[in-house]
């Protein structure tokens, strides 16, 4: 079992699922209403989510209550699968399919995108890391191995900085900085990519040590 890779996917998969559930709650609370179009806002009247534009999402259903319920269910399924079952055969594929369902049924815009990225990484949990072994020198693999805890920690900080960090700064302290949101979003993507590469390298180092 690729321990570092699984820890990364389970941790951020749980966050993706929780954020999707939060989107669904906002949509369900709007009641049995028809949206004006495919694009919706999960929290259109919430001062807490004002800084995030009311949290945009999309839905293919003509009912916000049903959209919210399905968003909660698919997001909860994603969370459970990422934490408990991601190591199973086709576990990564299941995560990607659940991410698409979250996207289509109100689970937000960015959470499903991150969910697909994590699902793609999960497809390599039980696969041989031949490419990494051939293309990364032992020195680079060792460097990435040592870098793993730092990239993982930086990724956690950037994700929590976006939510609930940005919303709390806006709601409680009146801090509204578009540049901060953009920077955190870039960090979320960049550190997730770095953490994935470092996790693969750490697992490869551990596998070679056992061999």
Q: What is the DSSP string of 58-89?
A: EBSSS-HHHHHHHHHHHHHHHHHIIIIITTST
Residue ranges making up the domain that contains 143: 3-210
How many domains does the chain divide into?
1
Summarize the confidence of residues 15-30 as an average pLDDT: 98
pLDDT at 134: 81
pLDDT over threshold 60, residue 210: no
β-pairing verdict for 56-58 and 39-41: antiparallel
The span from the first CA to the last CA of the chain, in angstroms, equals 14
pLDDT in tens, 65-118: 999 999 999 999 999 999 999 999 899 999 999 999 999 999 999 999 999 999
pLDDT over threshold 70, residue 211: no
Summarize the confidence of residues 39-64 as an average pLDDT: 97
Residues 125 and 105: their CA atoms lie apart, in Å, by 28
pLDDT over threshold 70, residue 208: no
């Amino acid at each position: 079992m690729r321990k570092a890779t699984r820890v990364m996917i389970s941790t951020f998969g749980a966050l993706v699922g929780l954020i999707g559930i939060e989107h669904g709650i906002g949509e369900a609370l709007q009641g049995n209403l028809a949206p004006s179009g495919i694009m919706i806002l999960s929290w259109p009247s919430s001062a807490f989510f004002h800084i995030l534009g009311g949290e945009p999402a999309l839905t293919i259903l003509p009912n916000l209550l049903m959209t919210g319920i399905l968003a909660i269910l698919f997001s909860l399924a994603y969370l459970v699968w990422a934490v408990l079952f991601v190591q199973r055969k086709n576990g990564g594929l299941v995560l990607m399919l659940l991410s698409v369902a979250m996207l289509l049924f109100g689970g937000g815009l960015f959470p499903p995108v991150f969910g697909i990225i994590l699902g793609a990484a999960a497809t390599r949990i039980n696969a041989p890391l031949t490419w990494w072994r051939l293309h990364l020198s032992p020195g680079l693999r060792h460097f990435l191995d040592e870098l793993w805890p730092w990239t993982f920690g930086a990724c956690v900080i950037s994700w929590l900085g976006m939510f609930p960090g940005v919303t709390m700064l806006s709601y409680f302290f009146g801090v509204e900085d578009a540049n901060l949101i953009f920077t955190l979003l870039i960090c979320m993507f960049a550190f997730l990519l770095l953490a994935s590469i470092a996790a693969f390298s750490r697992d490869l180092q551990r596998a070679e040590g056992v061999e």
